[in-house]
Amino acid sequence: MSEEEIVDAELVGVGELVPFVPAGQPLVDAHTVLRAGQQIPTTDDPTTEYTERDLYLSQETTDALNEAEEDGSAPRRTAMKGFETWCAAEGRVAIPCTTATYTEYGRHLMRRGLRVSTIRNYMSLIRTSMPPGKQPDSSLYIVLLSQYRTKNKRALRRKEAFPITMPYLVPMIEKAEADDRPIGWRDAALLAFGYRFLGRSVEDVNLDIEDLTLTSTQVVVWLAEDKTHKNEEQTIVLHDRPDLNLVFRLRRWLAYLAKHGITTGPVFREVMRSGKVASSETRAKKVKDKERGDYLRPQTVNERVKKWFHAAGLKTDGRPVSSHSLRAGGATDLGVNKATEEELEDAGRWAKGSPIPRKVYVRPAKAAQHDPFSKVPRYNATTQHGAGPAA
């Protein structure tokens, strides 16, 4: 290589080249922010000389960061797993992906006929999973999604969970307790707590024994945070009632855990067929349980709710039964029994002014109870014969 071929570089070591910036050149880019009165930095300004110590993370911090990134959230892992599988089949790079790959995957989800809200959620999780500064442009996918919304009205439809109100809940709990087995005790406590706590299933299964304080008539719950209150701890008092027997059912389950030497950690745990509480080692053998350790998966709550609903011989109106049915049931019972909007928001920990409690749970339940055509007198052929319009 001749000297003339070496452009914009300088020799600094044995055959090592580094970029060369002419003196006095501005050091700015599209993300530079200058405050009023601040001069534009140039190559003439004194710079700090960084060493490797300034650039590298320690091994401890690296391990903790890797663990945090691996844990992530269940929805994020699901979204990325689907994306990575599709990219592998298409011969595309998943991380970091190009804008073209990102856009094509959005179109792939639309071809599958998924709901708009589901597609939007998946695409958002995928985009934010990319390395900093390497996130794809979402503008093209958004154009396609807008067209998809227009042409596929059914993709906007969202089926709400069937509300498990008290007339459904009590038979389910009784069915769970019928065999008088530890797994039934756990499920009875889980069903009663899920309804009364009005929590999301992930909040239920993430609670520790230390988070609960039981009195003769109340269960006091300490909640570190929830979906609406990020980094905002709460103390929630759940008053018991005779048809729910929440205190008794939780005490019975916690006493069973204590008998097995468990007095701290997750409240709700897996119970094996033998009746023993599963250990972390036992659960680690199952791929789906490995990441949760001793904590139940939210999906397990979903499965148990469905099991006891059908075991009790109950039927829905076509809406699906899921773990969210417990939250929906509690909210519906409150709403149709004239709870105020503020009481609904507080009970379910919705954001102030949220339309969800009334719009999603209360109004449909009241509409189902009220038939405006009941005001029209029933037709009687004997008394109303000849009362039709004249020929």
Q: What is the pLDDT of residues 134-184, one digit of tens each?
A: 999 999 999 999 999 888 876 556 678 899 999 999 999 999 999 899 999
**Any bridge partners for residue 9, and if so which?**
19
Q: Distance (Å, rounded) from C-alpha 355 to C-alpha 14?
A: 68
pTM of the model: 0.63
Residue at 190: amino acid letter? L
- Residues (pLDDT < 70) of the chain are 1-24, 30-31, 43-50, 69-74, 154-158, 280-291, 365, 383-391
In the prediction, which pLDDT does 361 show?
A: 74
Domains annotated on the chain, with CATH: 72-156 (1.10.150.130), 166-367 (1.10.443.10)
In the prediction, which pLDDT does 43 show?
A: 67
Q: Distance (Å, rounded) from C-alpha 299 to C-alpha 205?
A: 10
Tell me how far CA of residue 1 lies from CA of 4, 6, 17, 169, in angstroms: 8, 8, 13, 81
